[in-house]
Amino acid sequence: MVDTVKAKLSESKIARWIALFLVSSTMFFAYFFVDIASPLKTMFESQYHWSSDAFGFYGGQEFFFNVFLGFLIISGIILDKMGIRFTLITSGLTMVAGALIKIYALTYVNVEAHTTLFWMNYPNTVWVACLGFAVFGIGVEMAGITVSKTIVKWFTGKELALAMGLEMAIARLGVFAVMWLSPIFAEKHGPANSFIWGLVFLSIGFLTFFIYTFMDARLDKQESLTTVSNPEDEFRISDIGKIFSNPGFLAIAGLCVLFYSAIFPFQRFAPQMLASKLMIDEGIASRYVSMFPIGAMILTPFIGYFLDKKGLGAKMMLYGAILLTISHLIFALVPAHAFNAFIAVLTIIILGIAFSLVPASMWPSVPKIVENRYLGSAYGLIFWIQNIGLWGVPMLIGYALTKANPGVFEDIAAGLKDQTAYDYTVPELIFAGFGIAAIILSFVLRSVDKKKGFGLDLPNKK
């Protein structure tokens, strides 16, 4: 029996790191596509007549179907019921479909036409692009929870936090790449060209998912020879109630939504924010923003290695929340005349360190607080709660930016001002507020961990 277990594919270091590379590559291309529009906000204002609140509205719709139609919860249930291979392929196809709709919006929809839905009057390009982003969002979030469960499958009892850290690092490299490449792709042929290149990259990512499924099938076949099926180990719908009654899950989910609400929506507005603060071109500002994922990419694997060996996951989440708050307060409160490129890059790096500490600690902690049979659903529910913030916060920031800068969009559209006319103090204070709330919840999580004995500060590697 021991010889059989040793022969399992997941016991091979080479095999499990290849599996990690394959699924991480897809997330690299997915993250690239998520932020394609971020360095192009001014282009959307001038070429497609998108206001700041329209841009913020678009940014939030990636999560619309996941939040309001419960697709993330459904994705978690599909993952636990149908397995990793089916869910990976489904997520990959869904991302490609969403990308095609967005390209259609920017290529064939009348730029001048507007439609009013409820109280919102936006160009038709916004509405169709939002539909595409919402469809894409189903796929990318489904991929995220499936990749998390995939890594747990291959690395439990081994280098779990390191593997999750490396996956996040590779994914964030996609953010670095898009901050440099998207403005280049759009320079001559407009934003639509950037999205076309994004589709090409997504198609490559779908292929890496597909290749991985053969490794997954082989591992499942080997595990079926060494394990005995137990009906008690199968997922049941009633397990969702157990997840929501778990205080550790609620604390991590709350910390997740607060932390990510101060990161991903920030990325959408950061290039224009730095351009406005430093009075520089948005393309140059986007290169400064690219330092954010680089810092996270370098540090996250080391933090993961430390967590596997030494632990201290709950403390790491607290430290990350503190650094997050400090970063946004610097952006908000340092006056423009004292703010320079060095401060900008340094603050971006501090934010990158925060983005290394929290996710690298958070995601490997989830298997410590829930049972494996409903781990996929637990990840799906955390992502769903996170998506509520990621849906609403971009719209909040876009609205706040418009209200804090009356008449600026109209002047930019008329050619009277450029993108450096915006004052981002109010949006940055909002982001800092999320950070302060995350600090408070980090203390709550540590208290829950002490009472329940989840072992969040214990090493991951056995």
User: 113-137, pLDDT tens digit by residue?
Assistant: 999 888 889 999 999 999 999 999 9
C-alpha 162/C-alpha 309 separation (Å) is 10
For residues 423 and 319, the answer to whether their CB atoms sit within 8 Å is no
Q: What is the phi/psi pair of residue 121, to 5°?
A: -115, 110
C-alpha 95/C-alpha 205 separation (Å) is 10
C-alpha 95/C-alpha 116 separation (Å) is 27
For residues 418 and 275, the answer to whether their CB atoms sit within 8 Å is no
Give me 397's structure tokens: 């920031």
The number of CA neighbours under 13 Å toward the Cβ of 236 is 7
Superfamily of domain 13-452: MFS general substrate transporter like domains (1.20.1250.20)
Q: Helix (H, G, I), strand (E, B), or coil: what is residue 120?
A: strand
pLDDT at 3: 46
Low-confidence ranges of the chain (pLDDT < 70): 1-7, 225-238, 295, 413, 415-420, 460-462
Q: With the CA atoms of 191, 131, 177 and 261 taken in that order, what torsion angle do they form, in degrees rounded to the nearest 10?
A: 120
C-alpha 204/C-alpha 189 separation (Å) is 23
Q: Which residue has the tokens 């599996």?
A: 19
- Which is nearest to 387 in space by CA: 80, 76, 67? 67
pLDDT at 5: 43
C-alpha 445/C-alpha 321 separation (Å) is 12
- Which is nearest to 139 in space by CA: 87, 214, 184, 81? 87
C-alpha 10/C-alpha 296 separation (Å) is 27
C-alpha 263/C-alpha 271 separation (Å) is 13
Beta-carbon contacts of 302 under 8 Å, excluding residues fewer than 6 positions away, are: 165
List the helix and strand counts (H, then E) for the chain: 20, 2
Measured from the Cβ of residue 121, the count of other Cβ atoms closer than 10 Å reads 12
Strand partners, 123: 114
C-alpha 171/C-alpha 263 separation (Å) is 15
Measured from the Cβ of residue 1, the count of other Cβ atoms closer than 10 Å reads 7
With vertex at residue 151, the alpha carbon angle to CA 377 and CA 445, rounded to the nearest 5 degrees, is 60
End-to-end CA distance of the chain: 20
C-alpha 169/C-alpha 173 separation (Å) is 6
C-alpha 450/C-alpha 455 separation (Å) is 8
For residues 99 and 202, the answer to whether their CB atoms sit within 8 Å is yes
Instruction: Give Rg (Cα) of the chain.
Output: 22
